[in-house]
Structure 1
Amino acid sequence: MRVDQIAAQLYTLREFCKDEQSLKETLQKVRAMGYEAVQVSGIGPIPHDVVKKLAEEAGLKICATHISYQALTENIEDVIAQHKLWDCKYVGLGSLPQEYQTSGEGYAEFAHNANQFAAKLAEHDLEFVYHNHHFEFTRFGPKTGMDILLEEGSKDFGFELDLYWVQAGGVNPIEMIERVDGRMKVVHLKDMQIVDKQQVFAEIGEGSMNYKTIIDALRKIDVEWYVVEQDVCRRDPFESLQISFNYLKQLAIN
């Protein structure tokens, strides 16, 4: 991991990205922290060309996105055009639609559908990446939902593991990283603390996850983008992103 591979997930700052002016200010602040890239997710309805302009003005690369399932299934040509405009290779889906979550058959049906739009993206040199939560580790008979996605997903079905949610799902993050070797170029990083006997989100280096070992494992599978995301911050979200960046910078090799 190099410093220029560390990105900020704008979902962390979603309350500060609702219109053009607030997005402009937020991107400038993110660049000032030391980040050189962002993942676009959770921003307001801002035209694609404006987002591109603001990112370029801030000196930030758009490394990945989260796109709605509806956009991927009903308006994929716009998704392709958007990512080409942004010079952004990785097209992410932030969560499994609820209708597929209740059975193993649902996971398999989703994987079949995703294989189709993933193949379409691949025709344009774009890559589909799936972002997990903890519910994918629900067991349906002998297999978990994640097992099914891994088995039924095609070569074009990539992953964007969220390592906090892997841990919350009761799975060793290192083992899960090894399972997606060759299928993951973007990863989500956040830490976990136990507060009042409950799992809570934490800045990287402030929790109980062994990120030195985790980063070593991610290097071995040649991850391209290390994206910092914190769903809920217990301090100012900008401060949270700065703390995580400062810690990861210590682990970076330049």
Structure 2
Amino acid sequence: MAKMNVGLQMYTLREETAIDFVGTLHKVAKIGYEGVEFAGYGGLTAVELKELLEQLKIKAIASHVSLAQLTTHLDEEIDYNLTIGSRYIVCPYVADDDRQTEAQWLAIIQQLQVIGQRCAERGIGFAYHNHDFELLQQVNGVFVLDAMMKEVPEAALLMELDSCWVHHAGQNPQAYIAQYSGRIPLLHLKDMQKLPSGETLTVELGRGEVDLIAIIEASAKAGVEWLIVEQDKCTNPPFESIEESYNWVVKNYK
């Protein structure tokens, strides 16, 4: 089986990129990450970002793009991502007000299909990134995430599985990875810790309760291309956090 690559979701460093986008990418590359998943482009043109990535010798994995932007400016986003060498566009989130009812979810699923079909026509993959609510809410008697995968053809919709959010929802990440084997090119590796107060913290890989080793093993069997490190909030300095998590992956994935 092919070796999975290790990337970083740049949302982890959103405060740093807001100050110095280019310098932040330099630091990510220096740590050793092979690719990055974007959550914004730092005001750079596609050609400028392509040249920067070539200089740093890191790949554009994918881009998280809001559902609103995908609905109104899809071809612009596709053009940008094809230029920088990204193979995937990802819908990262559905706003709370837009997902209160089954009818709203059914409309969103239809939207995803339209977006995914256009992406397929243009030669780029389209994926959906889950949180926990897609595994807490249901449509037609099944979890929303499963409804998406059932209703939209694989050619139009892939999955970017956030394994930590699956765990947080009380489901088994390894089981989901196996169930959708071949349909999960991108997987978010994230760890979490529950505090006595009931609050949940995202932590550096290996410091929490998520069975990351089992998730990595399941991912390798399921054809995952990229293991993407993400930490929603860093209690330690973020560059230290992403370096610690990168080193953990290198040590534990062989």
Partner of 2:224: 223
C-alpha separation between the residues in 2 aligned to 1:103 and 1:149? 15
Task: Measure how far apart 1:2 and its partner are.
Answer: 7.7
- 2:107 is aligned, of 87, 106, 109, to 109
Task: Measure how far apart 1:124 and its partner are.
Answer: 2.0
- Aligned 8 A contact 1:94 1:130 in 2: yes
Partner of 2:121: 123
C-alpha separation between the residues in 2 aligned to 1:59 and 1:49? 15
Task: Measure how far apart 1:99 and its partner are.
Answer: 4.4
* Structure 2 letter corresponding to 1:33: I
Q: Does 1:88 align with 2:86?
A: yes
SS at match of 2:201: strand
Task: Measure how far apart 1:43 and its partner are.
Answer: 4.8
C-alpha separation between the residues in 2 aligned to 1:198 and 1:99? 23
Partner of 1:194: 194
C-alpha separation between the residues in 2 aligned to 1:98 and 1:116? 21
C-alpha separation between the residues in 1 aligned to 2:21 and 2:4? 21
- Aligned 8 A contact 2:163 2:215 in 1: no
Partner of 1:56: 54
Partner of 1:154: 153
1:200-215, aligned counterparts within 5 Å? 200-215=201-216
C-alpha separation between the residues in 2 aligned to 1:91 and 1:119? 12
Structure 2, unmatched stretches of 5+, are none
Identical-pair percentage: 31
C-alpha separation between the residues in 1 aligned to 2:117 and 2:202? 34
C-alpha separation between the residues in 2 aligned to 1:4 and 1:158? 17
Task: Measure how far apart 1:15 and its partner are.
Answer: 0.9
C-alpha separation between the residues in 2 aligned to 1:159 and 1:43? 22
- Aligned 8 A contact 1:107 1:148 in 2: no
C-alpha separation between the residues in 2 aligned to 1:113 and 1:16? 33
Partner of 1:179: 179
SS at match of 2:113: helix
User: What's the C-alpha RMSD, in Å, of the aligned pairs?
Assistant: 1.9
C-alpha separation between the residues in 2 aligned to 1:101 and 1:180? 24
1:39-50, aligned counterparts within 5 Å? 39-50=37-48
Give deviations 1:57-83, integer Å, cap 9, x for gaps: 222111111012122111111111101
C-alpha separation between the residues in 2 aligned to 1:181 and 1:109? 26
SS at match of 1:226: strand
C-alpha separation between the residues in 2 aligned to 1:215 and 1:2? 13
Task: Measure how far apart 1:151 and its partner are.
Answer: 1.8
1:238-253, aligned counterparts within 5 Å? 238-253=239-254
1:4-43, aligned counterparts within 5 Å? 5-18=5-18, 22-43=20-41
* Structure 2 letter corresponding to 1:242: E
Q: Which moved more, 1:50-59 or 1:169-178?
A: 50-59
Give deviations 1:108-159, integer Å, cap 9, x for gaps: 2211111111011111221111011111122347322223222222221111
- Aligned 8 A contact 1:69 1:97 in 2: no
Task: Measure how far apart 1:4 and its partner are.
Answer: 6.9
Partner of 2:165: 165
